[in-house]
Amino acid sequence: MSFKSAVITFPGSNCDRDALCYLKDLTNGEVHNIWHEETSLPKVDLVILPGGFSFGDYLRSGAMASKSKIIDEVVKHANDNRYLLGICNGFQILTEIGLLEGALIRNKKLKFLGKNCFIKKKFKNNFNLSIKDNQILQIPIAHNEGNFYCDIETLNLLKNNEQIAFEYCKGEFSNTEENINGSIEAIAGITNKKKNVLGMMPHPERAYSDFHQSQDGRLIIESLIS
Amino acid sequence: MNEELILQHGLTLDEFQVIRKYLNRDLSIEELGIFSAMWNEHCCYKTSKKWLKKLPTDNEIVIQGPGENAGVIDLKDNDGIAFKIESHNHPSYIEPFNGSATGVGGILRDIFTMGARPIATLDSIRFGLIETEKTKYLLNGVVHGIGHYGNCIGIPNIGGECEFESTYDFNNLVNAMAVGHVQKDKIFYSKPKSIGSLIVYIGSKTGKDGIHGASMASDVFSEEDEDEKRPSVQVGDPFMEKLLMEGCLELMSSGLIESMQDMGAAGITSSSVEMASKGNVGVYINLDKVPLRQPLSAYEILLSESQERMLAVIDKKNNHKVREILQKWQIDYEVIGEITDTKRVVFESNNKKVVDLPVEIIVDDAPEYDREFYIPRKRKNKDFDFSKIKLEDMIINLLTNLNYLDKSWVFDQYDSTVMGDTIREPGQSSGIVKIHGTQKVIGASTDCNPLYIRINPYEGMKYTVAESYRNLIACNINPLAITNNLNFASPLDPNIMGELVLSIHGLKTAAVKFNTPIVSGNVSLYNQTNEIPIKPTPVIGMVGSNMDLNKINTNKFCEIGNKILILGKQLTKNCSPYLLQDQKIAFNICEFNDLEVLDLDFEKKIANCVLELSDLKCIMSCNDISRGGIFSALLKMQYKDMGFRVKVPDPIDLFCEYSAGYVIEIRSKDFEEVTSFLTNKCAEYLEIGEIIKEGIEINSKKFDYFDIMNKYRNDFEKIIS
C-alpha cells in the first residue's frame, strides 16, 4: 500500500514547497498540499506542518496558525493515531495547539541561527526507527525561537514517557556545540505520549537530496515507511 | 515659487528654471514634489548617465539589460535568471534594522516584478572601524535587518562580503542583491500594453514613512541630520511581502497582468511615471482611491515610500479575477486609475487635478551633467622595508583584523538553506543554488576592493571585476553577467568624479574582456559625512552558471595527503596593497605604489585551465587568492580539522596578493596529469605543500592548529561584542 501524505500551507509558511518535495521524492506516494482555510483533510498517513513564519509570527510564533480552520482536522488526524510532523514553525504550532508539551522560546544568544546542527536520537519511536543509537545526524536549523523550554514536572513526564525523540549533540570535528540553542536538556524534538506526533526544530527536508550537504533527513521518512 | 522651497526639494535653481520655462506656468506643490523625486541622482542618474552609457550591456545571452526593474539573462531551455543589486546606505545608517531590511525587501520586489521567483539573496556591507562607538550598533542592526527580512520571506542568503574600514565610520554601506528564476516566455515588463487598461494598487496601505527617501539618498549628510531624517526611513513587513510575492506571482502565472511596477524609491510617482514613459502613453490616477493607513495629503501620497506596494496594469475584464486571487492572499487591492493616450501624468485629488505634466518633461528632459573630473597623478614607486617583519607577527596581524576572520557570526544569522536548493552557503568563494527541478546551478559573488580603486581607479576596478570572476571560476562556475552598485562620495568634488569615471572605464574594459555584460545596477552618490568621503566602492555582483551540478568544485579541503598547488602570478610585495596596509607597512594612501597592470588575457587563460581541470575531475578543491594572499586562502579552505604543510622561498610570499591566483587541491595520482596539462597550456604553477591532519606548518615551523583555528573562527564575535 502506498504511503499518502499532506503538507499544510499557512500564509507565511516558507518551507511548504521543500516539505512537498521531500515527501514526493521519498515516499513515492500521493502528496497533497492543503491551504489553511480548508475544512477537510484527505485520509493520509502523514501530515506535515512546515516551517516558516506563519502569519508573520505576530503575537507568538505559531499562535495565529494554531487557530486556523484546518487545525480541527489536523487534531482529528492525530487523534486517529496517524502521523503528524511539525518542523520548526510547525513544532511551534503544535505546542500552541497543545498537541505537544512545552514551548519554544528565543535562542540562548538571542540571535537567529541558520547553520548545520548535529542531533542523535534519545528514545525510540516510529519516526526514528531507522536511526542507530548514538548515530550523529547532520541537519540544518534555521530559527529564532527554537530553545525548548518546559517546567520540571513536564520534563520528568517527557523522560518517563520516553517522549524525547532527538537531542542536540557535538559533531565529529572541533568547533561544534553541545547544545546549539540552549534548549532544556538539549532537546531538539519531542513526541506526544502516544508517539504519533513529532515536533522538531531541525529541517530534515533540507538534508535528503544527493546535492544537499547531508542526506540524514531521509532517515525520518524511511523510519515511517519501514 | 520661493527659492528656499525649491532648494529644499533638492532641485537647483537652474533645474527649476528649465521646468518653469517648459511649462510656462507656476508649479503646484505636488508637481514640485514630483520633480524632486524624479530629478534626483537616485532616480535619474544625472551625474553618472553619461558614463554608464559606455558600459557593455548586451551579448547573446542578455534578454533584458539595464532599464527595467532587473536584468535578465538566458540560461538555455526556458530558463531565465533575473538579478540586480541595490543600495540602502543612508537609511541603514539612520535606522540600521529597518534601513537594511527594506533594502532586501526592495530588491526582492524588483525581481518578482519581472515575473521571477527570487531564489537567492546576497549582500555587500561595509562599516567603520569597530573601535568607533556606533559601529557595533550599526553592524548588529544591519545584520539583524537583512536576516529578519530574508529569513521571514524565505529566500536563502547565499553569500556576500563584509568589510571594516575607517572611511565608512559615518557612512556605512548596505548593498543587497537578489537573484530570481523566470520562465523566458513569462517575463513581465513595466511597459503597459493598451490604452484604457486599469491601473491597480496592490499591497500595503500608504503611510507617512519614507517621504522624500529618494531625495534623502541623494544628499550629503551631517551628523546632526540623523535624528531629523529618521522619519524618512521606511518600515518593512516581510510577512506582507511574502503574501504580496505569492499573490503577484499567482496573478502573473494566471495571465491576468499586463505589466507591473514596484512602488520603490519615490513611490507611486516614480512607478506611474516610468510606466507612462516606457509605454509612451499617459496615466490618470485618482489619489482619493489610494488605500491609506492614516489621513494624508495628495503631496504625501505622491512621495510616500511605504513598503510592500505594487502598481499593476490589468485589462478591465480581469478585474474580478484579480480581486479574487488577492483576497485569498489577504492583500489590499484597489483600482486607482487608467492608462490614457495623453502622454501626460495626471493625478487627481478631491476632484482637482493636482498634477498635470507631460511625461516628456519629467523623464526625457531630466538633467544630465558632465561634471568636471581629475585624473589621479601617476604614483612614484619605491621599495618598502620588510626587514623587521616576522612570520608570527604577520599571522597575528591577520587574526586580529576583523576583515580576515571567519564571518560566521554574520551569516549564521541568515537562513541559507530554505527552499532546499542551496549547494554552497555563505563563507565560500561564491554562493550556489540549483534551479529548482533541473540539474543547472547558478553561482553568484559580490566583491569590491576599495583600497585598490583609491590607489588606481581604472586598474583597481579591473582587479575588482577579476576577483568576482575568480570567485566563480574557483567553483567551476562559468561567469555570465554583472550587476553593479556604484557607491561614491560627492561627485561635485572633481577627484571623486575622477574615481567614478575611471572605475566605470575599468569596469567596461574587464566586462568586455570577460564577456560579462552589465545588465542592471544602481548608483549611490554623496556618501560622505562631515567632509569625510568614503573610499570609492563600486561593488560588483557577478552571476554565472554550470549546467551540471555534479561538476562544481568545493572550496574546502577534501582529503589528508592531497597536494596543494598555486596558479597565477604573485604581485610583488611592494605592490600588494592589502599586504602593505594590513601588515602595517604603509599607512597613508599617498604612500602606496601604483597597482601592477592587470593582464586580463592572463586571467582568462588561467581561468580556463581551472575550468578544464575541474571538468576533468582533477580538482578536489579550489579557492581564489585575494586579500591576505595564499595564507588567508588556505585558512578559508580548512575543513573537518584538516590543515596544511607548505614550503615557500620567502614566507612574505604567502601574504602577497595575486593576479589570476588560485589554490588548488589535487590527488597525488593526478599530479602528472595536472602538471603536464598546465605545462602544455604554458600556465605556471607552484607546488607548495600538502594537506595534513590538525596542523599548520610553514617552512618546517609548526604552529598550533587549534589555537589559530579558534582565533580564526571565534574571535570575530569576541571583537564585535
The predicted structure's pLDDT at residue B222: 58
Joined grid coordinates for residue A199: 515536533
Q: Is A169 a catalytic residue?
A: no
* Mean pLDDT, chain B, whole residue set: 94
Q: What is the pLDDT of residues B524-563, one digit of tens each?
A: 999 998 889 999 999 999 999 999 999 999 999 999 999 9
* Residue ranges covered by each domain of chain A: 5-225
Say if A55 is an interface residue toward chain B (CB within 8 Å). yes
Report if residue B174 sits inside a domain: no
User: From the centroid of its chain, how far is CA A106?
Assistant: 17
The predicted structure's pLDDT at residue B604: 98
Q: Compare CB distances from A15 to B418, B549, B706 and report the shortest one's residue.
A: B418
Nearest CA in chain A to B158: A114
Q: What's the ipTM?
A: 0.96
Return the half-sphere exposure (C-beta side, CA atoms, 13 A cut-off) of residue A42. Answer: 15
What residues does B73 pair with on adjacent strands?
B62, B81
Q: What is the mean pLDDT of the segment spanning B388-398?
A: 96
Domains identified in chain B, total number: 1
What does each C-alpha distance from B239 to A14, B91, B149, B329 come to in angstroms?
Answer: 10, 21, 8, 11
Closest CA to B89 of B131, B41, B45, B142: B142
C-alpha B46/C-alpha B10 separation (Å) is: 13
The predicted structure's pLDDT at residue B209: 80
C-alpha B559/C-alpha B690 separation (Å) is: 10
Report if residue B707 sits inside a domain: yes
Element (H, E) at B705: helix B705-720
* Mean pLDDT, chain A, whole residue set: 96
C-alpha B34/C-alpha B15 separation (Å) is: 13
Residue B226 pLDDT exceeds 70? no
The predicted structure's pLDDT at residue B43: 83
Q: What percent of chain B has pLDDT over 70?
A: 97
C-alpha B339/C-alpha A56 separation (Å) is: 35
Closest CA to B114 of B203, B200, B190, B191: B190
Say if A216 is an interface residue toward chain B (CB within 8 Å). no
Q: What is the DSSP letter of B592?
A: S
Report if residue B663 sits inside a domain: yes
Answer whether A15 sits within 8 Å of B640, measured CB to CB. Answer: no
Give the three-class secondary structure for B338.
strand
Residues A51-85 as b/e (b if ≥16 CB within 10 A, e otherwise) read bbbbbbbeeebbbbbbebebbebbeebbeeebbbb
Model confidence at B170, pLDDT cuts 50, 70, 90, reads: very high
Residue B224 pLDDT exceeds 80? no
Element (H, E) at A149: strand A147-149
Q: Compare CB distances from B417 to A55, A112, A140 and report the shortest one's residue.
A: A140
Strand order of the β-sheet with B79-87 is B62-64, B71-74, B79-87, B173-183, B117-127, B157-164
Report if residue B715 sits inside a domain: yes
Answer whether B242 sits within 8 Å of A113, measured CB to CB. Answer: no
What CATH class does A5-225 carry? alpha beta
C-alpha B606/C-alpha B140 separation (Å) is: 39
Residue B223 pLDDT exceeds 90? no
Q: Compare CB distances from B147 to A112, A175, A212 and report the shortest one's residue.
A: A112
Say if A118 is an interface residue toward chain B (CB within 8 Å). no
Residue B170 · residue B126 · CB < 8 Å: no
Report if residue B193 sits inside a domain: no
The predicted structure's pLDDT at residue B221: 56
Model confidence at A25, pLDDT cuts 50, 70, 90, reads: very high
Report if residue B692 sits inside a domain: yes
Model confidence at B71, pLDDT cuts 50, 70, 90, reads: very high
Answer whether B417 sits within 8 Å of A111, measured CB to CB. Answer: no
Q: What is the mean pLDDT of the segment spanning B316-343?
A: 96
C-alpha B358/C-alpha B340 separation (Å) is: 12
Residue B116 · residue B122 · CB < 8 Å: no
Joined grid coordinates for residue B172: 556605512
Residue B137 pLDDT exceeds 80? yes
C-alpha A180/C-alpha A203 separation (Å) is: 14
Say if A108 is an interface residue toward chain B (CB within 8 Å). no
The angle subtended at Cα B328 by Cα B324 and Cα B330, nearest 5°, is: 110
Taking 3-state DSSP, the helix, strand and coil percentages for chain B, each rounded to the nearest 5, stand at 40, 25, 35
Residues of chain B in contact with residue A12, where contact means CB-CB under 8 angstroms, are: 152, 239, 242-243
C-alpha A72/C-alpha A76 separation (Å) is: 6
C-alpha A105/C-alpha A92 separation (Å) is: 9
Residue B1 pLDDT exceeds 80? no
Given the residues A88, A117, A150, A169, the one annotated as active site:
A88
The predicted structure's pLDDT at residue B214: 54
Given the residues B42, B90, B148, B181, the one annotated as active site:
B42
- Phi/psi at B73 (nearest 5 deg)? -120, 160
What residues does B446 pair with on adjacent strands?
B541
Residues of chain B in contact with residue A52, where contact means CB-CB under 8 angstroms, are: 154
User: From the centroid of its chain, how far is CA B333?
Assistant: 32
Q: Which residue has the cell 488605500?
A: B291
Residue B482 · residue B73 · CB < 8 Å: no
The predicted structure's pLDDT at residue B216: 54
Query: For position B634, which CATH number holds?
Result: 3.90.650.10
Q: Which of B330, B415, B548 should one mutate to test binding to chain A, selecting the residue with the greatest count of A CBs within 10 A? A: B415
The predicted structure's pLDDT at residue B397: 97
Residues of chain B in contact with residue A111, where contact means CB-CB under 8 angstroms, are: 144, 412-413
Answer whether A175 sits within 8 Å of B709, measured CB to CB. Answer: yes
- Phi/psi at B173 (nearest 5 deg)? -115, 135
Say if B346 is an interface residue toward chain A (CB within 8 Å). no
Q: Compare CB distances from B412 to A55, A56, A113 and report the shortest one's residue.
A: A113
The predicted structure's pLDDT at residue B514: 98
C-alpha A43/C-alpha A51 separation (Å) is: 22
C-alpha B699/C-alpha B717 separation (Å) is: 31
Residue B431 pLDDT exceeds 80? yes
Q: What is the mean pLDDT of the segment spanning B138-156?
A: 97
Q: Which residue has the higher pLDDT, B649 or B209?
A: B649
Q: What is the mean pLDDT of the segment spanning B615-623?
A: 97
The predicted structure's pLDDT at residue B409: 97
C-alpha B278/C-alpha B532 separation (Å) is: 39
What residues does B125 pair with on adjacent strands?
B162, B174
Q: What percent of chain A has pLDDT over 70?
A: 100
C-alpha A54/C-alpha B461 separation (Å) is: 44
Distance from CA of B293 to the nearest CA of A (A): 19
Give the three-class secondary structure for B75.
coil
The predicted structure's pLDDT at residue B2: 85
Q: What is the mean pLDDT of the segment spanning B221-232?
A: 60
Q: What is the pLDDT of residues A76-128, one digit of tens each?
A: 999 999 999 999 999 999 999 999 999 999 999 999 999 999 999 999 999 99
C-alpha B308/C-alpha B109 separation (Å) is: 8
What does each C-alpha distance from B131 to B134, B168, B175, B316, B546 come to in angstroms?
Answer: 9, 12, 23, 59, 42
